[in-house]
Amino acid sequence: MAALGLAGCSSGEDPEADPSTDTSDGTASSTTGPTETSTETSTDASADASPTADVAMADGVELTAQGTDLKFRDSAKVDFQPDRKRSSVLKLTVTGARKGRLSDFKGFILDDNYKKKANYYYVDVTVKNLGKDNVGGAPVPLWGVNGENTLLPAVNFTTSFGPCASTPLPEKFRPGRRLKTCLVYLSPDKGKLESVSFRPNQAFDPIEWTGDVKPKKRDASKKKKKPGKKTDKQN
């Protein structure tokens, strides 16, 4: 069986950087959390949305202001810097969310109560590179947020997960490339998924998506067999 590994969650009020979890074949882990920043930010949302000088901006691209509230199927254009050497602009679209179930994780080892007693959510996302750099290989930079205002890291699967085909950006994610993927979030203690958040660091006023979360699909393994129709016997 494959192990399902998760790092700790972070408080939405003052998130700490979550350490990345080492992965190997047949495992899944959380993505790395927001990192602290030492740069000061402006109180003006539109000013905060401006890219730093080294961001590879495409002509005519305007970033979405920090603190913007969006609905599912809306898009945001954000500055994305997966490391110190690369930067680009991503167009992020959260197209919808649905609730999963424990039985979906058959074949994965859920080795603690956090994983066993969580609520499971699958979020469909589209990512497009609007900038000028290749930012491939990085995780999609979106968090789940539950009712306790806790940031939920997306699970990073190293094996296929049928209910929600979750993949990072491809190794060659050049300008103009687009990816449709699905992110898995575990909310502890049966918590609800309240929103999906882009928050690259603690100082950033998050851009958030909200919308109706679809209920669980019917568990095919528990479908009741319909009784056969009785036919009258002829004498």
Question: Each residue of 52-93: pLDDT tens digit?
Answer: 445 555 667 899 999 999 999 999 999 999 999 999 999 999
Q: Which pLDDT tens digit goes with each residue over 3-54?
A: 565 544 554 454 433 333 333 334 444 444 443 333 333 333 333 444 444 5
Residue 186 confidence (pLDDT): 96
Residue 113 confidence (pLDDT): 82
DSSP 71: E
Distance CA 64, CA 231 (A): 66
pTM comes to 0.75
Name the token pair of 17: 């950087």
Residue 2 confidence (pLDDT): 55
Residue 56 confidence (pLDDT): 55
Residue 174 confidence (pLDDT): 95
* The pLDDT of residue 115 is above 80: yes
Tell me how far the alpha carbon of residue 154 is from its chain's centroid.
Answer: 5
Residue 35 confidence (pLDDT): 36
27-30/155-157 β-pairing: antiparallel
Residue 88 confidence (pLDDT): 96
Please give the average per-residue pLDDT across 80-108, as a whole number.
95
pLDDT band at 158 (very low <50, low <70, confident <90, very high): confident
Residue 54 confidence (pLDDT): 52
Please give the average per-residue pLDDT across 132-146, as a whole number.
96
Distance CA 98, CA 164 (A): 10
Domain 2-12+21-30+67-218 is found in CATH 3.30.390.50: no
Q: Taking a C-beta distance cutoff of 8 angstroms, is the pair 55, 61 a contact?
A: no
Residue 227 confidence (pLDDT): 57
Distance CA 195, CA 72 (A): 9
pLDDT band at 219 (very low <50, low <70, confident <90, very high): low
Q: Is 45 helix (H, G, I), strand (E, B) or coil?
A: helix
